[in-house]
Amino acid sequence: AQSVTQPDIHITVSEGASLELRCNYSYGATPYLFWYVQSPGQGLQLLLKYFSGDTLVQGIKGFEAEFKRSQSSFNLRKPSVHWSDAAEYFCAVGAWRQGAQKLVFGQGTRLTINP
């Protein structure tokens, strides 16, 4: 069965510091991978996605992620965080079922930014 693990429940970084959020997945075939961000009381906004091709993908708001098949990982990075990046971040894998891709999410990582 497909699964996603985000090992860090809560991360605190200082504004301007670099960020890496970890994501490991379990999937039997080439995965479709996603990172979403959720601000309090809001829905999920897609940051970036990996379907195929270049394993380093660029997203919105200065985020990037690297797909590493050998490590079953899809870690999210940002070189310099801003206070507005404080939010909950979810990694997800797309699992094909009945002709559609349902998303299997990790538990999320809550990011706090220190001024």
- Which residues of this chain interact with other proteins, rule CB under 8 A? 4, 32, 36, 41-46, 49, 51, 90, 92, 94, 97-108
- Cβ distance 31 to 93 under 8 Å? yes
Query: How far apart (Å, rounded) are the C-alpha atoms in residues 47 and 72?
Result: 19
Query: How far apart (Å, rounded) are the C-alpha atoms in residues 95 and 81?
Result: 31
Decide whether 33 or 113 has the Cβ nearer to other proteins. 33
Query: Smallest distance from the beta carbon of 16 to other proteins, in angstroms?
Result: 28
Decide whether 34 or 85 has the Cβ nearer to other proteins. 34
Decide whether 29 or 100 has the Cβ nearer to other proteins. 100
Distance from CA of residue 1 to its chain's centroid? 19
